[in-house]
Amino acid sequence: MNYTISQITANVKKTLGSKFSARELDSQLFLIYEKILNLSRLNVLAYPDTKVLNSDYKQIVNIVSRLSKNEPIQYILGETEFYGLFFKVNQDVLIPRPETEELAQWIINDFKKATITLLDIGTGSGCIAVTLAKEILSSKVFALDISEVSLKVAHENAQMNGVKVNFIKQDILNAVASDLPVNLDLIVSNPPYIKKSEMILMQPNVLDYEPPLALFVDDADPLLFYRAIAKLGCSLLKPGGALYFEINESLSREVFQLLESFNYYEIAVKNDIHGKPRMLKALNYKP
């Protein structure tokens, strides 16, 4: 017997209803139908009595079973959307987050028509670097990560989106300026910033599947990455060049003071759409 879309939807809601909100489930179901049945949201809603092939049904059952084990839908489907672009993702890279889209949006608003050279530090899936390369047409983009496997995914994402990004494998905590591109107009970074003590507050879909290297820092020194990048930024950025960070909402004051201590100026903290201080911009000292 072939099930219809509406029968499958009802079954999935029964199976996963206690795990996800109705909104989360709906959006996951639309993604699944789009990927497996190649049907848009509109078609799913318009034709709920469409019969689903057995082979497709088996794939959907498999996805639902993985969702029930907390695996993120983005890893299951192998892709996600960021700033209207598609990105390949797997467990080697962090799943791009909406607040990071807001950071990219801030930069695009500031530099859309400029000719700039920029460096994305801790590029992961390449979501920031690729988006900026696509949106700021006259940009030259460098992106670095310590993780070889992340860089492989980021490279595929640059190709998939038809942009050129120069990738660098580097440990930013042990880098010196001569290892890196200089005379930059802009550095952007969404570095690891979650304190290990905050792990207990986190959901299993993150803890069990996303790469710890992308997420956590020791409680003893949560500003580790910001300090290293701010220090390097003084030599890598042109005078007046801009540094943009995504930040932990609990550390905005500390990152602000850190940047002041390196003589950055016009330091501005920006709230995300939920009103939380999640981004910061500063300009490199002009002698």
Return residues touching ligand SAM (CB under 6 A): 94, 96, 100, 122-125, 127-128, 145-147, 150, 171-173, 190-192, 213-214
How many residues would you count in the chain?
287
| 181 in Cβ contact with 121 (< 8 Å) | no
Smallest gap from residue 151 Cβ to ligand SAM (A): 9
> What is the SS3 assignment for 217?
strand
Closest distance between ligand SAM and the C-beta of residue 192, in Å?
5
CB nearer to ligand SAM: pick between 127 and 243 = 127
Q: Kindly state the smallest distance separating residue 251's Cβ from ligand SAM, in Å.
A: 14
Q: Evaluate whether 143 touches 127 at the Cβ level (below 8 Å).
A: no
Could you give phi then psi for residue 126, rounded to 5 degrees? 85, 10
114 close to 136: Cβ distance less than 8 angstroms:
yes
Given a contact cutoff of 8 angstroms between Cβ atoms, the answer to whether 199 and 216 are in contact is yes
Choose between 52 and 128: whose C-beta lies nearer to ligand SAM: 128
Of the pair 128, 186, the CB lying nearest ligand SAM is at 128
Between 181 and 192, CB nearer to ligand SAM? 192
- Closest separation between CB of residue 225 and ligand SAM, Å? 7
Say how far residue 269 (Cα) sits from the centre of its chain: 19
CB count within 10 Å of CB 248 equals 21
Q: In the complex, what is the shortest distance from the CB of residue 199 to ligand SAM, in angstroms, rounded to a whole number?
A: 15
Beta carbon of residue 42, minimum distance to ligand SAM (angstroms, whole number): 30
266 alpha carbon, distance to own chain's centre: 26
Nearer to ligand SAM, 147 or 252 (CB): 147
Rounded distance between C-alpha atoms, residue 215 and residue 237, angstroms: 26
Q: Which is nearer to ligand SAM, 56 or 145 (CB)?
A: 145
